[in-house]
Amino acid sequence: IKEDTLEQLTKLTSSEELQELKVRVMGKKGSLTSLLKQMGQLSAEERPKMGQIVNELRTQLEDAWDKKWREFEKNALESRLREERIDISLPGYSLPQGHQHPLSKVIEEIEDIFMGMGFTIAEGPEIETDYYNFEALNLPKDHPARDMQDTFFITEDILLRTQTSPVQIRTMEKQRPQLPVKIIAPGKVFRNDDDATHSPMFHQVEGLLVDKGVRMSDLKGLLLYFSRQMFGESREIRLRPSFFPFTEPSAEVDVSCMLCGGAGCRLCKGTGWIEILGAGMVHPHVLEMGGYNPKEVTGFAFGMGVERIAMLKYGIEDMRLLFDNDIRFLEQF
């Protein structure tokens, strides 16, 4: 039995076959088992001897099986490791990565520049009342200047704000009588306009500085500093007289358009300048509406168009590109 079993053992190729062999020898009808069954026929002296032989045989066979079993297990593990091997030197897949919209980038940059000069950031609602959007800004009902901004009305008194200027009033109301009032207010504004340089929704950043002795030259210096931070040291600005009901005097501010060599591009219409903001000294009525005494304090305010600034900074000739959400366009920034 021993030699036969050990010989068969060397021919085995799988753990299943090993199991079968075990049954053939040790199972109910196995050869070793039947040997044990025959022991009853032996004499009293022979029995313990035979018992010992059979036990030894069993131990030997079990050792041999165990060894073989471990060998199979080891082989199985090795082949699994070989199959599941990962080549860590293969280059990985790169996942698509999103990034900021050019307008968000520009707004953050504007915020950084003004925060660097001690301005804080204020906010106001996009759905505004007639009072804050017009009335308190020195634009009473029936004032012809209301036509400057094609308004989306929701009801007679509620509208989508056409400008960020209402945040001037809201901020002064909240802060009075403390000085200085020194905020910028970025946000969405809405006008019933739609072409290559206008969109029904666009962004502005409002600025307001109220303090004792604020002068127009402070405004000009600040805006020149801002423009050079934003567009580069070689930029110039120019102020053109203009009109806003909430500032007096008022100006429109242009930045030199070096993007296209000063002339010829659609952005600056061949003039070499592009308008980026409206500004002026806060009208006494507006200071009063905000709860400040125009005999004690003065202030300046400005409102800049973020899309215009982005177009100028990145050389975008059609504002609508900023809102089309074409990945091929957006990926460039």
Q: Going by C-beta distance under 8 Å and a sequence separation of 6 or more, which residues neighbour residue 81?
A: none
Nearer to ligand PHE, 103 or 265 (CB): 103
Cα separations (Å) of 226 from 62, 213, 240? Answer: 89, 21, 18
Nearer to ligand PHE, 5 or 168 (CB): 168
Nearer to ligand PHE, 214 or 301 (CB): 301
* Angle formed at CA 64 by CA 62 and CA 68, multiple of 5 degrees: 115
Q: Contact region for ligand PHE (CB under 6 A) — 66-74, 171-179, 263-271, 299-307?
A: 299-307
Amino acid identity, position 34: S
Q: Contact region for ligand PHE (CB under 6 A) — 97-105, 226-234, 301-309, 314-322?
A: 301-309
- The one among 102, 278, 290, 299 contacting ligand PHE by CB under 6 A: 278
> Which residue number is nearest to ligand PHE in terms of Cβ?
303
Q: Please state the separation of Cα 288 from the chain's center in Å.
A: 41
DSSP-derived 3-state class of residue 35: helix
- The one among 136, 185, 303, 321 contacting ligand PHE by CB under 6 A: 303
Distance CA 272, CA 319 (A): 19
Give the Cβ contact number of residue 300 at 10 Å. Answer: 24
Binding mask 120-159 for ligand PHE (x = CB under 6 A): ----------------------------------------
* Angle formed at CA 251 by CA 161 and CA 307, multiple of 5 degrees: 50
Q: Going by C-beta distance under 8 Å and a sequence separation of 6 or more, which residues neighbour residue 33?
A: 25, 26, 27
Q: How far is the CB of 101 from ligand PHE (least distance, A)?
A: 22
- The one among 107, 268, 279, 281 contacting ligand PHE by CB under 6 A: 279
Binding mask 231-270 for ligand PHE (x = CB under 6 A): -------------x--x-----------------------
Q: Contact region for ligand PHE (CB under 6 A) — 174-182, 219-227, 230-238, 274-282?
A: 274-282
- The one among 5, 133, 163, 256 contacting ligand PHE by CB under 6 A: 163
The two tokens of residue 68 are 């073989």
The DSSP annotation for 64-90 comes to HHHHHHHHHHHHHHHHHHHHT---TTS
Q: Contact region for ligand PHE (CB under 6 A) — 84-92, 112-120, 214-222, 275-283?
A: 275-283
Q: Is 302 in the site for ligand PHE (CB under 6 A)?
A: yes
Residue 236 is assigned to a ligand binding site: no
Cα separations (Å) of 82 from 15, 70, 75? Answer: 20, 18, 10
Distance CA 16, CA 110 (A): 75
Q: How far is the CB of 149 from ligand PHE (least distance, A)?
A: 7
Phi, psi at 186, each rounded to 5°: -85, 150
Q: Is 301 in the site for ligand PHE (CB under 6 A)?
A: yes
State which of positions 55-74 bind ligand PHE (CB under 6 A): none
Distance CA 17, CA 27 (A): 14
- The one among 133, 165, 171, 227 contacting ligand PHE by CB under 6 A: 165
Q: Is 5 in the site for ligand PHE (CB under 6 A)?
A: no
Binding positions for Mg(2+) = 248
Residues that bind ligand PHE (CB under 6 A): 163, 165, 244, 247, 278-280, 301-303
Binding positions = 248
